[in-house]
Amino acid sequence: MSWSLVFVGVAAGLLAGTFGVGGGIVLVPLLVWLGFDRHRAHATSLSAIVPIGLAGALTFAGAGELAVAAGVTIGVGGVIGSGIGATVMHRSSPRMLTVVFSLVLVLAGVRMILGGEGLGAGSVLDETAQVMAGLGIGVFGGLFAGLSGVGGGVIIVPAAVFFMGLSQHAAQGTSLLAIIFTAVSATAVNVRNGRVRLADGLVVGVGGVAGSLLGARIALGAQDRVLSFAFGCLVLFVAAQSLYRVLRQPEA
């Protein structure tokens, strides 16, 4: 099982570094496939996202594609949202968790495929507007992170592009920084609720660090629009797979 968890971590880390997400969109389904129940899969995913996000964020920072102030602001909002989301997750049915997880991915995927200019990378909000936008993005991203077991990057990346005027690369680096905050907050709640074994999260995270470093290098060499379109297609595929499986099964 340990080597399987390392492999899952590498796959998630590669995705995290390439697209600026925590890797939960593949971690959750793969952990379920390995035999984790839905709650444990969501909680383990969040704990593994901490080292994965840190490795990716440092790589983007080294390339000058990390807005530290924006990332911290989004992260603070994420702490609030993820704590609420993780508490709701503890009280929700596995079927409901799967449906919510899939719908979040559908919304994010469609938005990234359609694209759009948003504010534009050259646009600048005043300081107060930046803080309010960052906190709002963090709260919503953190809420879905805690509820669905993802780091929140599927919400943070498109929102940072469209509402804060960051480029795709900068949004991905900033997202990786912000999701560290949300993942730590949600994991603390999950530990109190007995939903996670930190040893499992650590094993997945070790594999994830290696994948994240490679993925970030791939992302930094790709064009913004290509990354955005590929990101959207990927999350729609994962959402379709999750919905198909849960709708085939009768509710317990």
Residue 220 in contact with residue 65, Cβ under 8 Å? Answer: yes
- C-alpha–C-alpha distance, residues 208 and 11, integer Å: 7
Determine the Cα angle at 159 with ends 154 and 161, to 5°: 110
Burial of 110 (0-12, 13-18, 19+ CB in 10 A): middle
Write the pLDDT tens digit of every residue in 231-245: 788 778 877 877 777
Write the pLDDT tens digit of every residue in 36-84: 988 888 888 889 988 988 998 999 999 999 999 999 999 999 888 877 7
State residue 58's pLDDT score. Answer: 92
| Average pLDDT value over all residues in the chain | 81
- C-alpha–C-alpha distance, residues 178 and 227, integer Å: 19
- C-alpha–C-alpha distance, residues 232 and 75, integer Å: 23
> Is the pLDDT higher at 28 or at 117?
28
For residue 224, give Cα distances in angstroms to 99, 112, 168, 169, 240: 30, 11, 5, 7, 25
Residue 175 in contact with residue 57, Cβ under 8 Å? Answer: no
What are the φ and ψ backbone dihedral angles of 195, each rounded to 5 degrees? Answer: -100, -5
Categorize the per-residue pLDDT at 94 as very low, low, confident or very high, splitting at 50, 70 and 90: low
Largest CA distance in the chain: 51
- C-alpha–C-alpha distance, residues 151 and 141, integer Å: 8
pLDDT over 60 at 121, yes or no: no
Nearest CA to 157 out of 237, 39, 60 is that of 60
- C-alpha–C-alpha distance, residues 20 and 22, integer Å: 7
Write the pLDDT tens digit of every residue in 209-234: 999 889 888 888 888 778 778 878 87
pLDDT over 70 at 1, yes or no: no
Q: Model-level pTM?
A: 0.75
pLDDT over 70 at 122, yes or no: no
